[in-house]
């Protein structure tokens, strides 16, 4: 699976958009970009994923560059409850169970009042 690079930490003001970048310059054509987040001492939570088109759901938007070498997760109106570590993961989806998520260090997002 391709490696990702994320800033270790970011701050965001409450109510503003949080834009979390991820570099994945070695991504291959069949690898998806996944985002999870982990609120302190809880299990990771799925946010969104995409292949090449931009995606949006009730939690966030995912913008993937045309060359697919980087992406940005956007939380449109960050709240204090969005304070968490955000993980960007790229991987191929195989049928076999062994192809599971590999977590890096992520970005610690601190939303401030």
Pick the closer one to another protein by CB: 76 or 104.
104
**Is there binding between residue 104 and another protein (CB under 8 A)?**
yes
**Is there binding between residue 53 and another protein (CB under 8 A)?**
no
How far is the C-alpha of 4 from the C-alpha of 26, rounded, in Å? 8
DSSP 40-88: TTS--EEEEEESSS-EE-SS-EEEE-TTSSEEEEEETT--GGG-EEEEE
Sole binder of another protein in the list 13, 17, 80, 101 (CB under 8 A): 101
DSSP assignment letter at 112: E
Pick the closer one to another protein by CB: 85 or 111.
85
Residues that bind another protein (CB under 8 A): 32, 34, 41-46, 49, 93, 95-98, 100-106
């Amino acid at each position: 699976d391709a490696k990702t690079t994320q800033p270790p930490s970011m701050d965001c003001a409450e109510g503003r958009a949080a834009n979390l970048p991820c570099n994945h310059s070695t991504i291959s054509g069949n690898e998806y970009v996944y985002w999870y987040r982990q609120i302190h001492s809880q299990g990771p939570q799925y946010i969104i994923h995409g292949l090449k088109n931009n995606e949006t759901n009730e939690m966030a938007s995912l913008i993937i560059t045309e060359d697919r070498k980087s992406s940005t997760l956007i939380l449109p109106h960050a709240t204090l409850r969005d304070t968490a570590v955000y993980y960007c993961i790229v991987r191929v989806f195989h049928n076999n169970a062994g192809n599971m998520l590999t977590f890096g260090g992520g970005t610690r997002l601190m939303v401030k009042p």
